[in-house]
Amino acid sequence: MVSKTRDKFIEVARQLFARKGVENTTMNDIASASDKGRRTIYTYFKNKRDIYNAVVESESDKLLVNLRLIVARQVPAEDKLREYVAVRLETMREIVSRNGSLRAGFFRDVRKVDRARKLISQKEIALLREILEEGMANDEFRIKDAGHTAVIITHMIHGLDVTYIRDSLSDKGIDQEMLAEYFSNLLLEGLMKR
């Protein structure tokens, strides 16, 4: 019951944030739309930032589920890395697009984006590290330090988020699929053992 009520608040908040914007949504709006009282919502969340973080974490969990499936696949590390990059970029695009006015906030407030990323960055780094270590163990990749390399690759992918989501390079003949492919190729050229 506790989890269902909390989850309902999170989903209702996500929908309201997407439709009205975070700034224009009150805790009372979330409680009312959830058919619960204000006291009940404060049982689960201290304030709007707390529920906003829960929404971001919930959306991030969807991303992590997709990435974990890739890491668990029984394919070469090179294939995993290619798929990881493509799925990571596309899932972020879907999350941002699905969340309406959160999309505007994503592009407008870099600090908010960085706070949201911190919630999942360490998990993304750990998943990438697993792929890199597997590639090293199978003699596919030439890497000195999988941990540091995973950190750098994660930040490189994060740097592509806005460009990918906005499809900013289409005017130069580079669509989203090509961007993911080219990035993977460049990355793998640096990692592959020859």
DSSP letter at 143? Answer: -
pTM value is 0.80
Q: Whole-angstrom distance between the N-terminal and C-terminal Cα of the chain?
A: 56
pLDDT tens for each residue of 156-171: 998 888 888 888 888 8
pLDDT of residue 74: 97
The confidence score (pLDDT) of residue 88 equals 93
Architecture of domain 48-191: Orthogonal Bundle (1.10)
Whole-number Å distance between alpha carbons of 87 and 84: 5
Inter-residue contact 77 to 132 (CB < 8 Å): yes
- Please tell me the distance from the alpha carbon of residue 19 to that of residue 173, in angstroms, as a whole number: 33
- Give me the residue label for tokens 């750098």: 152
The answer, yes or no, to whether residue 136 has pLDDT greater than 70, is: yes
Q: Domain ranges in the chain?
A: 1-45, 48-191
Q: What rounded mean pLDDT belongs to the chain?
A: 87
Res 35: pLDDT: 94
For residue 103, pLDDT beyond 70? no
CA-based nearest residue to 124, from 93, 164, 96, 158: 158
Instruction: Indicate the residue type of 120.
Output: I
What is the second-level CATH architecture of the domain 1-45?
Answer: Orthogonal Bundle (1.10)
